[in-house]
């Protein structure tokens, strides 16, 4: 059975260029702050052959990029009989390549194995982009959150990925103002974020979810303090993103044309959103090569180059 959640086989909307294929739902981890396991149930996965068939269908509809999504992707396949893993699924997909490229959505840091890094880094099929939710860089807070890694582990993981491929875009989620988060604990998180080589942050001020363990914790952080810390981290994120974009000025990357709120843009394999002026003759959703020419503030701009393979950025 794979109709354990609403499986749509990949949503392709005419206005959108990429398709999102949800291959897993629910979560069995019960992080202390999270309502998902109560609201969405435990981990359930779509069998590999069904995932592959959906990718074939999307490929035949002309979808060039598919984003594999799930609530807790790293646990994909643990519920299936026979049991399988996210890594094994990716190997199958990589072998067949039913679409032009695949991007992964968020994966928990402790679920990134050396084999997975080698597979992703050694492939021109998987986008060099990973979103690794850290939540906090302070080990005492991580323990209270019921997250099973440390700040040191996270830095080491990011460095290992970037050693293999320096063009990887690494992003993360951070929860700001978790109960008992002192100024010192927050500073530790900031340091971990800065030492990891990340390219952007998604910042979430902690908000209590009734029914979770964390809702019973003492020593809440004030609303005002959460605002101050969040504002600071958003500024850090802007700087990181800009530094990352700057590294690629003058380089050509494969990119998919998208219809965004601010107009037509191209999203590179390593998650740089590039504004393109001369898009009239191109079809939204198609894969092109884009040279990044510069930045206007935080926005990258560039042009499409015909018949040119992208310049690799491996240092």
The CB-of-32 to ligand SF4 minimum distance in angstroms stands at: 9
Q: Is the peptide bond before 198 cis (omega within 30 degrees of 0)?
A: no
Binds ligand SF4 (CB under 6 A): choice among 21, 23, 27, 89: 27
Q: Does 37 bind ligand SF4 (CB under 6 A)?
A: yes
The CB-of-136 to ligand SF4 minimum distance in angstroms stands at: 12
**Assigned token pair, 276:** 């393109």
Binds ligand SF4 (CB under 6 A): choice among 11, 30, 83, 311: 30
* Separation between Cα atoms, residue 193 and residue 297, nearest integer Å: 22
The residues in 61-80 that bind ligand SF4, with binding defined as CB under 6 A, are: 71-72
The CB-of-24 to ligand SF4 minimum distance in angstroms stands at: 11
Residues in the interface with ligand SF4 (CB under 6 A) total 10
CA angle 41, 19, 29 (to 5 degrees): 25
The CB-of-135 to ligand SF4 minimum distance in angstroms stands at: 7
The CB-of-108 to ligand SF4 minimum distance in angstroms stands at: 6
Closer residue to ligand SF4, CB minimum distance, 29 or 139: 29
Q: Does 141 bind ligand SF4 (CB under 6 A)?
A: no
Strands 129-131 and 169-176: parallel
307 contacts: CB under 8 Å, gap ≥ 6:
none
**Assigned token pair, 21:** 């294929």
* Separation between Cα atoms, residue 276 and residue 264, nearest integer Å: 7
Give the position of tokens 């894969």. 287
Region of 23-31, 89-97, 122-130, 271-279 interacting with ligand SF4 (CB under 6 A)? 23-31
Closer residue to ligand SF4, CB minimum distance, 149 or 248: 149
Task: Report the C-alpha dihedral over residues 174, 175, 180, 185, rounded to 10 degrees.
Answer: 20
Q: Does 31 bind ligand SF4 (CB under 6 A)?
A: yes
Q: Are 101 and 121 in contact, with CB atoms under 8 Å apart?
A: no
Q: Which residues bind ligand SF4 (CB under 6 A)?
A: 27, 29-31, 34, 36-37, 71-72, 108
């Amino acid at each position: 059975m794979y109709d354990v959640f609403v499986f749509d086989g990949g949503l392709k909307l005419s206005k959108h260029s990429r398709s999102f294929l949800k291959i897993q739902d629910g979560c069995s981890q019960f992080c202390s702050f999270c309502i998902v396991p109560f609201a969405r149930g435990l981990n359930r996965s779509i069998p590999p052959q069904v995932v592959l068939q959906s990718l074939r269908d999307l490929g035949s509809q002309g979808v060039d990029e598919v984003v594999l999504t799930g609530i807790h992707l790293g646990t994909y396949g643990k519920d299936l009989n026979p049991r399988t893993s996210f890594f094994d699924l990716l190997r199958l997909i990589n072998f067949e390549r039913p679409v032009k490229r695949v991007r992964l959505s968020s994966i928990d840091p402790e679920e990134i194995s050396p084999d997975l890094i080698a597979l992703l880094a050694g492939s021109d099929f998987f986008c060099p982009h990973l979103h690794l939710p850290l939540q906090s860089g302070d080990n005492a807070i991580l323990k209270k959150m019921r997250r099973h890694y440390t700040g040191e582990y996270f830095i080491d993981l990011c460095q290992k990925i970037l050693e293999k491929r320096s063009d990887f875009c690494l992003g993360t989620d951070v929860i700001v103002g978790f109960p008992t988060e002192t100024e010192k604990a927050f500073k530790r998180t900031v340091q971990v974020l800065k030492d990891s080589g990340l390219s952007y942050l998604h910042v979430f001020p902690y908000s209590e979810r009734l029914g979770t363990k964390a809702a019973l914790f003492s020593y809440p952080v004030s609303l005002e303090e959460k605002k101050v810390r969040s504002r600071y981290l958003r500024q850090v994120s802007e700087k990181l993103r800009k530094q990352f974009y700057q590294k690629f000025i003058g380089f050509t990357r494969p990119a998919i044309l998208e219809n965004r709120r601010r107009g037509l843009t191209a999203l590179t394999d390593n998650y740089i959103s590039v504004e393109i002026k001369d898009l009239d003759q191109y079809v939204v959703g198609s894969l092109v090569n884009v040279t990044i020419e510069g930045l206007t503030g935080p926005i990258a701009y560039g042009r499409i180059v015909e018949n040119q393979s992208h310049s690799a950025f491996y240092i």
